[in-house]
Amino acid sequence: MKPPMHPESTLVHIEKPIYGGAFLARVGGKAVFVPLTLPAEQVRVRMLADKRGYRLAEVERILAPSQERVTPMCRHFGACGGCDYQHANYEAQLGFKQAILRETLERGGVRVPSEIGMLAANPCGYRNRIRLAIDAAGNLGYRGRRSHQVVPIAECPIAAPLLIRAALAIWDIAAKSLLQLGHAEISFFCDANETELLVGIQGERQANFALNGLSTAMAVKVPELIGTEYTVADSAGRPERTVARWGRSSLAYRAAEFEYRVDQGAFFQVNRWLVDALVGAVAERQQGALAWDLFAGVGLFARRLASSFQQVVAVESAPRATAALAHNLNGAGARAVKMSTLDFLRRGQRGERPDLIVADPPRTGLGAETTALLATVQAPRLVYVSCDPATLARDLRGLIASGYRIEKITLADLFPQTFHLESIVHLQR
């Protein structure tokens, strides 16, 4: 005998994926967002929340599964908040992201080329960086789906195996030594070949333990470990500060024909299988006298551009990245500028007009003032690397209004199994 349905149980037809990882259904004309489903599926759902313009729901039962549905590769999928699409085959995932990117741009008033290019690689074991949390009970894992609770993990098929081996090792050492890390987050970052590993622990001010002892014990279990760092966040909102360090503070990352120094905590592209292809897609057939690399990070694009431009100016303000940026560009015919992109553009650069501008902003995008200032520079070519389609649409609308046109758009699937997507947009005046 079937158990009775929840009073709020509703039968819905899943229409399409939406940005954020859920899928769209409609009940009485109102949008319903349902995770862990697939287009064309008939699903019985339980309503969780009724917002002004939409409802949130959870699956109770899949009545008519899609042919694109597969068995998730990870035992933690569904409870863990890290992945969204493991229940779909990879070809379907790529189709979701192309559709979402096109719809988001067109809804934002941007005319999209008939074809969107695609960069994709192995959807497993690709992450060179993960960040785990420790709760009050000492559990180590990812945050839960729709929850801040920690989901303890024993595996993570999308991460480089070294990272999970290191995570389980530090968890085991802490448990056996009764080490009290308190509420903390731990980041693990390795090079593409898994030969070097950095570990960063961000904890509470009152946490007190010997980082050297922990690191030494961990290096026995994980010989690839070359450096650890312990930081605390300031309650007044000031930047975190380092209170202890063991070993080296940076690793050497070989990518796109160059070796990059990447310091502890600095941003670097997360997909170790696609870094080279991403750099190639940004820098392909680009050459000239002067190029600007804005939001340059540790110089991933700037170093490549320096081989085909007479001069490259790389602009970065993040404290964790600026020293490595200067190191990586030393002797390459490129100049590192320690400044925010907005301040750099406000200063006008004495009327310089680069042949190419590469902009790789954070998820918040360029913003209105940066977009307007870029328009006044009038560089003949601009490559926009975006990790958020909504802010991309907003910024492209401004750039197009200022005289740019889209030459091509490429979707780079740097985050398989998740809803996140990267876009590379080539623009010309």
CB atoms within 10 A of CB 399: 23
Nearest-angstrom CA–CA distance, 281 and 291: 16
- Provide the pairing of β-strand 381-386 with 356-359: parallel
Cβ atoms 427, 383 nearer than 8 A: yes
Residue 83 known to be catalytic: no
Backbone torsion region of residue 195, taken as left when φ is above 0, otherwise alpha when ψ lies between -120 and 50, otherwise beta:
alpha
Q: Which of 80, 83, 190, 387 is catalytic?
A: 387
What is the secondary structure of 74-137 as a DSSP string?
-TTBTTBSS-S-TTB-HHHHHHHHHHHHHHHHHHTT-PPPS--EEE---SSS-BSEEEEEE-TT
Nearest-angstrom CA–CA distance, 129 and 116: 28
Cβ atoms 372, 345 nearer than 8 A: no
CB atoms within 10 A of CB 31: 15
Q: Take residue 182 and report the two structure tokens written for it.
A: 């308190």
Write out the catalytic residue numbers.
Answer: 387
